[in-house]
Amino acid sequence: MTIKIGEKLPEATFMHIGQDGAEPLSTADVFGGKRVALVSVPGAFTPTCSAKHLPGFKEQANALRGKGIDRIACVSVNDVFVMDAWGKDQEVGSDVMMLADGNGTFSDAIGLSFDGSGFGMGKRAQRYSMIVNDGVVEVLNVEAPGEFKVSSADHMLEQL
């Protein structure tokens, strides 16, 4: 069942590269006491994700912060080292926190995973964006398969 606006995110653990290397971060660590713009992509280094989705959030980081967003985070069902390398490749710096949902546990728990085995990709997260306020979903934008419209940074800015 897909998470809905007004619901609290489930407990989950992400992996992130911090100053001391790979470290686990809980849902509370990422979302507690903050208004977070979360963007989910089907895969690091994939065409739409690299050319449009993540770059849009990097480019609009200051505008999003100006509208009350405390943190921007990107999650994908990739390992922590791939997410870190992709963040460096995309030059997101401290503008976007790169979160690995390596086993898809978070994506499954919120009902937004899919089976990409037909494309040789295994389990993946759907393309979506959400605004999470202190762990509660405030805005949710889930794309139709193969689309890139409602989960963009520009669309999110229109909602703030």
Q: Which residues are catalytic?
A: 49
Which domains can be identified in the chain, with CATH numbers?
13-159 (3.40.30.10)
Per the confidence metrics, is the pTM higher than 0.95? no
pLDDT per residue as tens, the chain (160 positions): 899 999 999 999 999 999 899 999 999 999 999 999 999 998 888 777 777 889 999 999 999 999 999 999 999 999 999 999 999 999 999 999 999 999 999 999 999 986 766 676 767 788 999 999 999 999 999 998 888 899 999 999 999 9
The string of DSSP codes covering the chain is: ----TTPBPPP-EEEEEETTEEEEEEHHHHHTTSEEEEEE-S-TT-HHIIIIIHHHHHHTHHHHHHTT--EEEEEESS-HHHHHHHHHHTT-TTTSEEEE-TTSHHHHHTT-EEE-GGGT--EEEPPEEEEEETTEEEEEEEPPTT--STTSHHHHHHH-
